[in-house]
A and B are shown apart, each in its own frame.
Chain A
Amino acid sequence: MIAAVASGKGGTGKTTVTASLATVWGGPLVAVDLDVEEPNLHLFLRPTIEGREKAHLTVPVVDEARCNCCRACADLCQFAAISVMGSVILTFPEMCHGCGGCFAVCPEKALSCGQRELGEISWGRSGPVDFLSGRLRVGEAMSPPLMRRVKGRLQQMLGSVGGDAIIDAPPGVSCPAVNAVLDSDVILLVTEPTPFGFYDFRLAWQAFAPLGKPLGVVVNRAGLGHDAVYRFCRDQGLPLLAEIPYDRDIAAAYARGRIVADLSPELRETFLSLRGKIGDLARQCRPRKAVHA
């Protein structure tokens, strides 16, 4: 089972929940940080890193001797990564999404493979938990290509050892967030019961509900704000799986890089119960294949 921990709003507690779930999971688990723009799960799980590798995207390089500026590639590319200006062909490697279409349509075989570095993938262990993380290269504008590489390695890891995975997703509802939840069996939406929290929570629900995966809700900082999130969950039939209280001690522990589930027997029980409910959700709903974005 793959569980993705997502949110609309940033800073609602995705990493807090992911790290605590990893700690209480029991059984083989890969904890994955897919927030490649600003990974921080390692600050809590403190893994021993056992390996790292650079990830690259294949981008076109033009052999100008063969190119006759027929525009087939430029007309196909939706991102202007390869463009014909009069009798000059230009590439903008940083714009390329790596679809490979230009290679396929070039009748002159004038394109060869170049590479753009996307970032780094690292993996290791944190106690009994396998750890996997991506880190985007500074200056790289697109995170989904690197996220797909990280997910590729996750499939390898799950293929060799089996078990579950829990994904710490990036915030928001755009391509990176959707990419992070696309291959999961269950999506956990972490929110806070504030106006901001509720607004972005609803956006996240609108973005992720069409994927047809079971959704569950975790309310962090419970006791703050108002009851709009609760009413919305009731009206939409969204299961509220856990509440984490609004508590200064939790904030202080987080700031020191501590795992919330380790703070008290009550909090540990909160996450053990959440872990059980995630398993129930995954079992209730037979996984459906999502259409790839």
Chain B
Amino acid sequence: MTMIAITSTGPSLDDQVDPRFGRAAGFLIVDLETMDTRYIDNGQSQVMAQGAGIQAAQLVARAGAGWVLTGFVGPKAFKALSATGIKVGQNLEGLTIRQALKRFKSGGIEVASGANRAGRGGR
């Protein structure tokens, strides 16, 4: 069974991939076998001054996701996701959730080897 978490601007498959990981509006958790979806709101991480990426990583880990599909991942979030063996597919901004899923299923998404954004943490 593969569960994937996609950063999403809303709860439906036709919403946009949220380009931000840590400060994404939410995560659409998709079970690839049943295509059941579940939306997790990420508002709690959005308001954090720092550590949003780490907290978001905890959320998707707890949801049981094996993959994260998103736009940009910062270094701390990447470290947190890697530590639990969650694979990251990035640079998917501009797609809808449905389009990102299609690309994923066709094997068109590579496992990222590192963060593609500098950290935003600080003040």
CA–CA, A114 to B51, complex, Å? 20
Contact A92 B54 (CB under 8 A): yes
Q: Which residues of A contact B84 (CB under 8 A)?
A: 85-86, 88
Chain A residues whose CB sits within 8 angstroms of the CB of B80 once the complex forms: 83, 85, 90
Q: Contact check, B123 vs A83: say whether CB atoms are below 8 A apart.
A: no
Provide the residues of chain B in CB contact with A196, threshold 8 Å: none
User: Which interface class (under 10, 10 to 19, 20 to 34, 35 or more) fits B?
Assistant: 10 to 19
Taking the complex as formed, is B40 at the interface, i.e. its CB lies under 8 A from any CB of chain A?
no
**DSSP class of B's interface residues: helix, strand, loop or mixed?**
helix
* B50 with A80: CB separation less than 8 A: yes
Q: Which residues in A have some Cβ–Cβ distance to B below 8 Å? A: 74, 79-81, 83-86, 88, 90, 92, 94-95, 141-142, 174-175
Contacts A/B (CB < 8 Å), 23 sampled: A74-B58, A80-B55, A80-B58, A83-B55, A83-B57, A85-B57, A85-B61, A85-B80, A85-B81, A85-B83, A85-B84, A86-B61, A86-B84, A88-B83, A90-B54, A90-B79, A90-B80, A90-B83, A95-B50, A95-B54, A141-B122, A142-B123, A175-B123
- List chain B residues, Cβ under 8 A from A94: 121
Minimum Cβ distance to chain B for residue A160 (Å): 34
Q: Is B76 an interface residue, CB under 8 A from the partner?
A: yes
Decide: A79 and B61 in contact? CB cutoff 8 A.
no
Bound CA span A10–B40, Å: 42
